[in-house]
Structure 1
């Protein structure tokens, strides 16, 4: 059975190790975010005294530890509240797929009271929410992850922080909100009244640099891979090695520091010792991610894919070339995801460039793209934009690394001239477009033939 390609034996991953490289894993400690965690702790501190926490906004790009920091600090607060017999309730609610205050209010009613009042008028729904909070009592902290999905529908974001002042809830109820967003400008677009009432504190999570990402990857790798350990140095210059107990994730690292009588905050991670990772693997994963988004999630993805590629090729050691292959695959996946999430107008612009390129066109001009774009728009019965607006979508595709836009030395009066070309394989673009329901009736092979015939006729 060991000869099976699905054998459970791995020369690279430790048993259960892959879990530490998956997006769902939440670390219990975040040394690189201690400043941000201390600020969040100040906001939560009133809750430790039986009052309401401050309303707080956590912002920063994806993969910067915002959600993990909120979960870790709330876990600390909950443990303290249990020990002190404080009346504390925390709710972690993802706003993914939530686009209105109404839907959010219904979801919170279900979380807090067990009943979803969907179908009732908004005011009735809010009354259900206040009743659920009154039944619970005490301090109630609601974490709204990806809060920017609400857009500018801020009714509930205005009402919740003012629930006590407006006597919507009883005097012994202290509701507060922690909002988490990847959109740095979202809060600025809120109604001023909602913005002022919603956030007492704002904490920005800056992108990780390469050194921080290296340390994050090293800690994950020490749990994920065989024969891998961490080497720390104390403030007195004493170096010591730590092997992580995979069966005791929640406390093994802290226990190791206690055993050598070292304060973790006074120690520096020197390096990682690994029998399965070459020395340049983690620095290269960290450098790739730091140059792009500074995202820990992205860096971890590179490391996980590199190890999986090495294993699939029968190698017992992850090398630099595996990381480079992983980075290329991850970038391709990201571009495909970007193509899939385009609007109809974005798909039309992409389809027009793709048809022209498949027809042998190079250095494609805006007006040529627009000619094909208008025909496609009519064919699928979509709104037709003016040429300048269609070109804006082409520029957006360039920003997403789907096409390449080159600005010419001169353009028409009042505008700039561009030429366009695909950055992805035409077959990849066609594969994505054919999966879009709006393009179900489109035969791209036929459209390319028609375009070629038209060009021959013009000649």
Structure 2
């Protein structure tokens, strides 16, 4: 007998708490969905959709809104329209490392044709292949470029796609357009004027969710995800039934529901919503907290998911995020982390930047890495501070009258060492001995 089971005492359909689940209905985004609808509406009239830019912080429903509204447009094309020939393609620029116009064009070609991505060609050739695929398909073609800011400064495709008809890259029966999605609120402002003027006819800002909205989202998900958890319209209940749960609203309609759960304590959802609203207003984060809390209850053999599970879930998720951030840092940032970790292990932290810089140079020599100047090195210490990996505190004035800072780790030294040891260049470093061997800076 194995320890695995095909059922859980906590979860009924835990897949609705996973990131890949995209709901069809987004009642907290009614205004944004209406704006997006207006951008896509011209396609239903046979003149092609507007190019539109969806921007806002992560977890605000941008991707879900785009997929839901395109699904609705596809439904219209298939069952209601006698002239809309619609093709849509979703491309995640970050997941596929589409950092150049060449890579983006080859990926779009693959999505449109089902063929392998072309390699070994010049960018012009791949762009021509992409447009030729559009000519073969014909009709309205809407390309979703999620995490579009991954393209960085290479904006050639962002200039060419919106102007494809004007520049005769496609034939008269083809109407291509772009839905660009970005978490970087400043990225669009840094585009060249020619791209900015042609790329986006419309833009839609997705502001962070507040605590009330997050509670609504979590209750809708929880009613599907957890056992013995339900939402019942108040109008369907008798007086006695109304006493056995919380009366809540789960959308903007004003309709009240009884939320009742035998596996979630009453304070779990309000707590998670408050924690997420105070942090980023990120629905994805809040849903992950809720799922992790359920998993922890399941792991511990508990019958109910409590506030303690929710707080433990928050700490676990935040740790995972910090570890991931540490893993993705550059070599120079890893060197700064390694130096501070060595000093933390020796009991010298909190410590000023100058001693950290001395240890940094020692480790850089051991792994044969370039050594930055002290001013540039301090930028990496500030980066660790901003990411929550280290804590920088301003102390008394420095030797030349400027502010001095002391730094210490905000993560466990064991975690920092583990991440660094997983990086090939640091695998043989003995962090316990580094600080005693450091040269004077």
- For the aligned pair, the TM-score class normalised by the smaller chain equals over 0.9
User: Aligned-pair distance for 1:396?
Assistant: 1.2
Q: Please, which moves more after superposition, 433-442 or 208-217?
A: 433-442
In structure 2, the residue matched to 1:20 is 16
- 1:2-151 to structure 2, matched below 5 A, reads 5-14=3-12, 17-83=13-79, 84-85=81-82, 86-96=84-94, 97-115=97-115, 116-151=117-152
Separation in 1 of the partners of 2:252 and 2:277?
24
**Contact 1:98–1:150, Cα closer than 8 Å, also in 2:** yes
User: Aligned-pair distance for 1:265?
Assistant: 6.0
Query: Are 2:433 and 1:435 equivalent residues in the alignment?
Result: no
Separation in 1 of the partners of 2:378 and 2:121?
44
Query: Are 2:376 and 1:389 equivalent residues in the alignment?
Result: yes
User: Aligned-pair distance for 1:58?
Assistant: 0.3
Q: Please, which moves more after superposition, 433-442 or 314-323?
A: 433-442
In structure 2, the residue matched to 1:219 is 220
In structure 1, the residue matched to 2:266 is 279
Separation in 2 of the partners of 1:355 and 1:70?
47
Separation in 2 of the partners of 1:161 and 1:438?
44
**Contact 2:55–2:182, Cα closer than 8 Å, also in 1:** yes
**Contact 2:421–2:428, Cα closer than 8 Å, also in 1:** no
Separation in 2 of the partners of 1:240 and 1:175?
51
In structure 1, the residue matched to 2:183 is 182
- SS of the equivalent of 1:140 reads strand
- 1:185-204 to structure 2, matched below 5 A, reads 185-204=186-205
**Contact 2:341–2:431, Cα closer than 8 Å, also in 1:** no
Q: Please, which moves more after superposition, 106-115 or 22-31?
A: 106-115
**Contact 1:230–1:269, Cα closer than 8 Å, also in 2:** no
Separation in 2 of the partners of 1:441 and 1:429?
15
TM-score by length of 2: 0.92
Separation in 2 of the partners of 1:309 and 1:130?
50
**Contact 2:92–2:145, Cα closer than 8 Å, also in 1:** yes
1:167-188: CA deviation from partner (whole Å, max 9, x where unpaired): 1111111100000011111111
User: Aligned-pair distance for 1:362?
Assistant: 2.6
Query: Are 2:406 and 1:419 equivalent residues in the alignment?
Result: yes
**Contact 1:433–1:439, Cα closer than 8 Å, also in 2:** yes
Separation in 2 of the partners of 1:240 and 1:98?
53
**Contact 1:140–1:176, Cα closer than 8 Å, also in 2:** yes
User: Aligned-pair distance for 1:103?
Assistant: 0.5
In structure 2, the residue matched to 1:313 is 300
**Contact 2:345–2:431, Cα closer than 8 Å, also in 1:** no
Query: Are 2:347 and 1:335 equivalent residues in the alignment?
Result: no
Against the structure 1 CA distance between its residues 269 and 341, is the aligned structure 2 distance closer, same or farther, given a 3 Å change threshold?
A: farther
**Contact 1:232–1:267, Cα closer than 8 Å, also in 2:** no
- SS of the equivalent of 1:28 reads coil
Separation in 2 of the partners of 1:73 and 1:147?
19
**Contact 2:345–2:432, Cα closer than 8 Å, also in 1:** no
In structure 1, the gaps of 5 or more residues are 242-263
- SS of the equivalent of 1:12 reads coil
Separation in 1 of the partners of 2:420 and 2:4?
34
Separation in 1 of the partners of 2:377 and 2:252?
54
1:9-52: CA deviation from partner (whole Å, max 9, x where unpaired): 322211xx110111111111100011000000000000001221
Separation in 2 of the partners of 1:300 and 1:166?
45
Separation in 2 of the partners of 1:289 and 1:346?
28
**Contact 2:14–2:225, Cα closer than 8 Å, also in 1:** yes
- 1:164-313 to structure 2, matched below 5 A, reads 164-232=165-233, 238=235, 266-313=253-300
- SS of the equivalent of 1:162 reads coil
**Contact 1:56–1:203, Cα closer than 8 Å, also in 2:** yes
- SS of the equivalent of 1:144 reads strand
TM-score by length of 1: 0.89
Q: Please, which moves more after superposition, 114-123 or 308-317?
A: 114-123
Separation in 2 of the partners of 1:440 and 1:133?
49
Against the structure 1 CA distance between its residues 413 and 129, is the aligned structure 2 distance closer, same or farther, given a 3 Å change threshold?
A: same
- SS of the equivalent of 2:281 reads coil
Against the structure 1 CA distance between its residues 271 and 153, is the aligned structure 2 distance closer, same or farther, given a 3 Å change threshold?
A: farther
Tell me how large the CA RMSD over aligned residues is. 1.8
User: Aligned-pair distance for 1:239?
Assistant: 6.4
User: Aligned-pair distance for 1:402?
Assistant: 0.8
In structure 2, the residue matched to 1:375 is 362
Separation in 2 of the partners of 1:63 and 1:268?
26
Against the structure 1 CA distance between its residues 158 and 414, is the aligned structure 2 distance closer, same or farther, given a 3 Å change threshold?
A: farther
Separation in 2 of the partners of 1:239 and 1:382?
69
**Contact 2:164–2:170, Cα closer than 8 Å, also in 1:** yes
